[in-house]
Structure 1
Amino acid sequence: MPTGVALGDPRRLLFDAAERVLLRDGPSALTSRAVTDEADCAKGVLHRHFTDFDAFLAELVLDRIARLDVQAERLRLATGQGDVVDHLTDALDAILDPVALAVVGLVISRDGLRARLRVTRPVGIPLLGDATAVLARHLAAERDLGRLSPGADVDTLAPTLIGAGHLLLADRTGTPPDREALRRVVAGVLAASLD
C-alpha cells in the first residue's frame, strides 16, 4: 500500500485480516507478515498500534470476546419467551461461528497468548469460558422463571452445551452440521432440566 493512504480504522482492518487468515489457513499460518499482507498494509502499521504480535493476538481474542455481549443481550431479551432450546441453539450457532472456533484454535495452540490472557481470564480457555458464563446467566434466568427445573445445575449445563457444541461445530474441513443437528444436541443436554 502506498504511504499516505488513509486506512480507516487500522485495528479493525488488522483484526479482519487476521480472521480471514485464520479461516483460510488456520492458526499456524497466523504471522504478522500474513496479517499485514492480507490487510494490504505495511508491517509497521501493526507495530504502530500494538506493542508486539502477541499483544495484537491478545487484543484479537479480546475483541472476539467483546462480541459475546451481543449474544448475551439477545438471550436476555429472549428470557421467558419462546422456546428455551431454540434460543440456546441460535446462541450457540452464533457464539461458535467459524471465526470464534478458529480463535479458540489459536488460543489453544499458542502458550504465550494463553499466558497473556490468563491475567484477566485465569481459568479455562478464553472465549469458551466467557461464552460459558453467558449461557450460565441465561440458564439461571430461565430457571428463576420456572422454565427449567429448580434443581437445574446451570454451572454444569452451560459448559456441557459449549463443549458439545464445540465438538459438533469445530471441524474446519467437513461440511458443517445443520441447525437441526445442533438443536438435537441442545435438547439432549437440557432434556432432564426442561419443565
Structure 2
Amino acid sequence: MPTGVALRAVRAQLFDAAERVLLRDGPSGLTSRAVTTEADCAKGVLHRHFDDFDAFLAEFVLDRIEKLDEESLRKAVGTGTVVDNLAAALTAVFESVAVAIVPLVIFRDELRARLRREWPAGVPVLTQAAVMIAGYLKAERDAGRIGENADVDTLAATLIGATHLLFADRTGARPEAAQVRKTVAAVVGSGVRPARR
C-alpha cells in the first residue's frame, strides 16, 4: 500500500470506528474485531498498520488528544464571561470521546504502560485538558479578568476533576448546562473579577 494520504485515511477510518465502538459499547467492547467490523474492513488491515492492538489504542488516544479544541478557548480570552467560556470548553471536552477514554486507559494495563512512554503523568486526555484550561486561565489572569494570585494549575485540575464527576457515567443522562456552569462558578467564582464596563 502506498504511504501518505492512503495511510492517513486508513488510520482515520480505524480511529473513527474505535471511537464509535468505545462510545457505544464501552472499554470492554473495544476489541480489534469490533473496530474492523465497525470500519467495515478486514481484521488484517489493523494489524498491517499497527504492531498490535495496544499500539493501535495508544495511537488512537494520542490522536483524540490532538482533537481537543484549544484554539476556540484561546480565542475566547477577554470575551463573554470566564465562567461561561470554561463551562462551554469543559462540556465540549467531556461530551467528546474523552470521558470514555479514561476508563479505557484504566482498563488496559499495557495501554497505560505504552502511554507512559510519551505521557509520564496522569490520564493523557484529562492531563491535556487541564493544560488547555490552565493556559486559558493564565491568559485571563494576564488580562486582569482573574485575580493576579490565582493558582491556575490547581484551578484547572479542580475544574477537570469536578466536571469529570458530572459526566463520568456514560450510560446516564448528560448534566444540564446550568449544572456545569454552577460547578465552574463554584470552583473559580471567587477569583473571577467582574466585567469592566
Q: TM-score, normalised by structure 1?
A: 0.92
Name the SS of the counterpart of 1:118 in structure 2.
Answer: helix
The answer to whether residue 153 in structure 2 is matched with residue 155 in structure 1 is yes
Q: C-alpha displacement at 1:14, in angstroms?
A: 0.8
Aligned positions, number:
188
Determine the C-alpha separation between the residues in 2 that align with 1:57 and 1:26.
14
Determine the C-alpha separation between the residues in 2 that align with 1:56 and 1:120.
14
- Of the three residues 110, 117, 120, the one matched with 1:119 is 117
1:3 corresponds to which residue?
none
* Structure 1 letter corresponding to 2:153: D
1:13 corresponds to which residue?
13
The answer to whether residue 104 in structure 2 is matched with residue 106 in structure 1 is yes
State the identity %. 63
RMSD over aligned Cα atoms: 1.5
1:64-85 CA distance string (max 9 Å, x none): 10012xx211111111111111
Q: C-alpha displacement at 1:21, in angstroms?
A: 0.9
- Of the three residues 70, 73, 95, the one matched with 1:97 is 95
Name the SS of the counterpart of 1:9 in structure 2.
Answer: helix
Correspondences of 1:1-195 after superposition (within 5 Å): 9-68=9-68, 71-195=69-193
1:19-55 CA distance string (max 9 Å, x none): 1111111101111111111111101110111111111
Structure 1's unaligned 5+ residue stretches are 1-5
8 Å CA contact 1:76, 1:138 repeated in 2 = yes
Determine the C-alpha separation between the residues in 2 that align with 1:24 and 1:73.
28
* Structure 2 letter corresponding to 1:130: Q
The change in CA–CA distance for 1:52 and 1:90 in structure 2 (over 3 A counts) is same
Q: TM-score, normalised by structure 2?
A: 0.92
Determine the C-alpha separation between the residues in 1 that align with 2:110 and 2:136.
32
8 Å CA contact 1:33, 1:43 repeated in 2 = yes
8 Å CA contact 1:75, 1:91 repeated in 2 = yes
Name the SS of the counterpart of 2:169 in structure 1.
Answer: coil
The change in CA–CA distance for 1:51 and 1:7 in structure 2 (over 3 A counts) is closer
Structure 2's unaligned 5+ residue stretches are 1-5
